[in-house]
Structure 1
């Protein structure tokens, strides 16, 4: 029950175990054609969605180095570990970073983006880089509003980390006119780590013609050229593509609306059960991510609590990162997670709190009643 790698369905594991085939074969080209169409469906886009053998960070770096040039002015949103990472990546490649930040556990303020973009009369800002679902804190940022302000600027690109939001909540790439959208296989896609995905708008492709940042393996023009013939410029992770094909077929069968609804009810069940257990949510309740719930552990060490749950129930929870280590634990509920999993992890947390004398038997029972009410919703 961590935010990645997430549980992998049996059917996907079986697909993963197939004997590899040649990545230049007709059979593999048919597989690439199928997965590409389903990736476009998941991203709700008619534009290119490229598959890279690498992590979500590879996709985000690719988005930055293929569309920008050294010295370009960019806005970076930072309200957690991954927003912090994109600031570091941008600075590594010599970009001029304007940072918009907020305290970890609170969302980025869209109006701050609007103000800076409106004041940029010379159109010097070339991109806005931000994280949609901040995995480190359990916060989801208001991408829809921020992207509308980026569109009004008319020059800046949106470069978005959707690693724990794609496949968990609505990210209509074309409707919101997002330019570069990155995600990773080990999250909502329900397959092991190793693949990343990057959706590119026509505006983003136009920006690649001016980009002067160094790139070779992550040169997206090579991937676009190969995709015309349903191929890949380099040796891909063939068996992960087998798994991807099966996972996307499962997602298509469930349907986008049902996928988003399932993640939302798990978020509500988890967050409300936490409150019933006299624990506090780390993230602002108005901006809870559908993928992960971060929980404060005032009066006890979060790392020791995680260890107890792992030893006693064989359930792995995520810890806090950087200054939050020992202060919070995080429950992942994205991808191949069902109602039983939510009830099980709430029961484990309740039982452990009961053993520590932190709650009563009645409170433990009430948490399950509260969660069940949300799980019963369609």
Structure 2
């Protein structure tokens, strides 16, 4: 059957029908009063989602554009930074920072394990001369399904007194609690194709006052990603460049849906789906890749033993029209990843679990009794 593919990956995520319909509107002038009214409304909605009264700036670009903007607007040539690296996107932070000539000290953890906040404390306390200007981390590591302890790491950054914290919240914003003002987070980056429930094409940078003070000193090259331009135009409900107009229509519609559901309900739904997915995989007899207690509410990485994970993905897609994510880099064939982020409901979880069980049976690799995963997922969804 055509046109039936269901996305169970960590991005792009499923898009609600009302959001798709909003995108189908004719474009309007991006300097018109009508568009300025949409910018004003979405600015307030974005502040609600980010739990901040500070700026949330909208760029036309992927989450990586927000990450790059987050670095180049608050740092200067040769600045020393700590980069957390425990997966593909932690590695990307290191590469972006090195591309701009920053003095990068990497804080590593094995893929599948969370970053150790103590490693950051030790490095920051040893910096008596306050040479470290930023700590850069990924909150939810998409490649491994690990949620890093942002709050604890941020506490050590604040104790340092000089360093900023720059956060990739691409798969955590809209899936779990990221209280920017309460935690005094300095720079938080995210992307539209994740918890926002709209297609790829927009990215977001939330900046606090400490970050804007650093912006005044920053000398790294920037033009399109110069957030000062975005801040100035945002004050007039506009954009310094041509914005993605129809994605703004989608953004407004999706944020209205999120506000109607409420932040606490959104976070609880994602946690319920994480719990049910993990329970199902363990009942089937499949190992979870993320270390115990560190699983992300956005995605669960599964490490099947004795069978190529790509074969499971292939059968699930071809037979049941459900797309799971594969392993990245050295994890290709070793893990598959189940996205439960954004516009995902209990039915989607049950269908994905059933498809995985059926695929394992078809491949002659079902370790436990057929139906054990669905039963575990149903029980978990009922109990949480």
* Range class of TM-score, shorter chain: over 0.9
Contact 1:74 1:128 in 2 (8 A): yes
Q: Work out whether residues 42 and 256 of structure 1, in 8 Å CA contact, stay in contact via their aligned partners in 2.
A: yes
What is residue 364 of structure 2 aligned with on the other side?
A: 357
Partner residue, 1:62: 69
Confirm whether residue 41 of structure 1 aligns to residue 54 of structure 2: no
Say which of 281, 284, 302 aligns to 2:291: 284
Counterpart contact for 2:307–2:365, Cα < 8 Å: no
Q: 1:86 aligns with which of 83, 87, 93?
A: 93
Bigger mean CA deviation after superposition, 136-145 or 351-360? 351-360
Shift in Å, 1:303: 1.2
- Does residue 28 of structure 1 match 2:35? yes
| Paired position in structure 2 for 1:210 | 217
Alignment of 1:213-252 (within 5 A): 213-252=220-259
Task: Measure the CA separation in 2 of the matches of 1:364 and 1:167.
Answer: 34
Q: Deviations over 1:303-341 (max 9, x none)?
A: 122111111001111000000001110010000000000
State the match for 1:367 in structure 2. Answer: 373
1:181 aligns with 2:188: yes
Q: Does 1:320 align with 2:332?
A: no
Q: For the residues of structure 1 that align with 2:381 and 2:279, how far apart are their CA atoms? A: 11
Q: Secondary structure of 2:357's match?
A: helix
Instruction: Classify the secondary structure of the residue corresponding to 2:58.
Output: strand
Aligned-residue offset at 1:363: 2.5
Is residue 301 from structure 1 mapped to residue 308 from structure 2 by the alignment?
yes
Separation (CA, whole Å) in 2 of partners of 1:38 and 1:139: 28
Distance 2:357 2:311 in 1: 15
Structure 2 unpaired stretches of 5+: 1-7
SS at match of 2:343: coil
Alignment match of 1:137 (pick from 139, 144, 147)? 144
Task: Map residues 264-275 of structure 1 onto 2, 5 A cutoff.
Answer: 264-275=271-282
* Local SS of the residue matching 2:318: helix
CA distance in 1, matches of 2:112, 2:315: 25
Q: Which residue of 2 is the match for residue 253 of structure 1?
A: 260
* Other-structure match for 2:203: 196
State the partner residue of 1:164: 171
State the alpha-carbon separation in 2 of the partners of residues 366 and 297 from structure 1: 16
Distance across 2 between alignment mates of 1:170 and 1:377: 21
* Aligned pairs for 1:327-366 within 5 A: 327-359=334-366, 363-366=369-372
Matched residue SS, 1:147:
helix
Report the counterpart of residue 108 of structure 2 in structure 1: 101
Per-residue deviation, 1:297: 2.0
Listed as ranges, the gaps of 5+ residues in structure 1 are none
Q: Secondary structure at the match of 1:85?
A: helix
Q: How many residues are paired up?
A: 377
For 1:47 and 1:144, the matched residues in 2 are separated by 19
Q: Contact 1:276–1:363 at 8 Å: present in 2 too?
A: no
Q: RMSD in angstroms over aligned alpha carbons?
A: 0.8
Give 3-state SS (helix, strand or coil) of 1:168's partner. coil
1:5-24 to structure 2, matched below 5 A, reads 5-24=12-31
Contact 1:54 1:194 (C-alpha < 8 Å) held by counterparts: yes
Aligned to 1:72: 79
Tell me whether 1:152 sits opposite 2:159 in the alignment.
Answer: yes
Aligned equivalents of 1:187, 1:9: Cα separation in 2: 13
**What is the Cα deviation at residue 103 of structure 1?**
0.4
The counterpart of 1:115, out of the listed 119, 122, 141, is 122
Q: What is the CA deviation profile of residues 246-293 of structure 1, one whole-angstrom value per residue up to 9, with x for unaligned ones?
A: 000000000000000000000000011000111100111210000000
State the alpha-carbon separation in 1 of the partners of residues 363 and 331 from structure 2. Answer: 22
Structure 1 contact 50–197 (Cα < 8 Å) conserved: yes
| Counterpart in the other structure of 1:127 | 134
Distance in 2 (alpha carbons) for counterparts of 1:134 and 1:327: 17
